[in-house]
Amino acid sequence: MSSGVYLHIPFCKSRCSYCDFATDVYRDANSVGRYVNALVAEISANAPPEGGTQNIDTIYFGGGTPSLLTPRQVERILSAVKDRFSVDANCEITMEMNPATVTLESLREYGRLGVNRASFGVQTFNDRALKLLSRGHNANDARETFRMLREAGFENISFDLIAGLPGQALDDWNRNLDEAIRMSPEHVSLYLLEIHEGTPLAEQVRSGRQPRPDEDLAARMYEMMCERLTATGYKQYEISNFARAGFESRHNSKYWRLEPVYGFGVSAHSFDGRRRYSNERDTARYVEQIENSRTAGVTREQIDIASEYAFLGLRMEEGIDLKEYSKRFGVDLPTKHSSDLDRLLDAGLIEISGNSLRLTPKGKLFSNEVFAVFV
pLDDT in tens, 240-251: 999 999 999 999
| Amino acid 134: pLDDT | 65
Beta 320-321 vs 356-359: how paired, if at all?
antiparallel
| Amino acid 80: pLDDT | 95
Residue type, 343: R
- CB–CB of 9/97 below 8 Å? no
Residue/partner pairs of 333-341 with CB below 8 Å, 24 or more apart: 333/357, 337/373, 337/374, 340/373, 341/373
Tell me the three state secondary structure of residue 197.
coil
| Amino acid 47: pLDDT | 62
Domains of the chain: 3-256 (3.20.20.70), 318-371 (no CATH)
Q: How confident is residue 73, by pLDDT bands cut at 50, 70 and 90?
A: very high
Most confident of 208-212, 250-254, 296-300: 250-254
| Amino acid 124: pLDDT | 86
User: Across residues 116-136, what is the average pLDDT?
Assistant: 82
269 strand-pairing partners: 278
Total-model pTM: 0.92
DSSP secondary structure letter of residue 18: T
191 strand-pairing partners: 162
Q: Which residues, 6+ apart, have CB-to-CB distance to 214 below 8 Å?
A: 164
**Candidate from 4-18, 29-43, 152-166, 173-187 with smallest mean pLDDT:** 4-18
User: Across residues 282-290, what is the average pLDDT?
Assistant: 93
User: Across residues 283-309, what is the average pLDDT?
Assistant: 90
User: Would you say residue 360 has pLDDT above 80?
Assistant: yes
Mean of pLDDT over the chain = 88
- CB–CB of 51/272 below 8 Å? yes
Q: How confident is residue 193, by pLDDT bands cut at 50, 70 and 90?
A: low
User: Across residues 348-352, what is the average pLDDT?
Assistant: 95
User: Across residues 226-236, what is the average pLDDT?
Assistant: 96
Most confident of 98-102, 209-213, 324-328: 324-328
Closest among 110, 112, 91 to 102, alpha carbons compared: 110
User: Across residues 9-20, what is the average pLDDT?
Assistant: 64
- CB–CB of 58/94 below 8 Å? yes
Expressed in angstroms, the distance from the first to the final Cα of the chain is 26
User: Across residues 175-183, what is the average pLDDT?
Assistant: 94
Q: How confident is residue 21, by pLDDT bands cut at 50, 70 and 90?
A: low
User: Across residues 177-202, what is the average pLDDT?
Assistant: 80
Q: How far apart are CA 195 and CA 263, in angstroms?
A: 26
User: Across residues 337-362, what is the average pLDDT?
Assistant: 93
**Candidate from 81-90, 113-122, 134-143, 167-176 with smallest mean pLDDT:** 134-143
User: Would you say residue 215 has pLDDT above 90?
Assistant: no
Beta 297-302 vs 275-279: how paired, if at all?
antiparallel
Please give the share of the chain, as a percent, with pLDDT higher than 70: 87
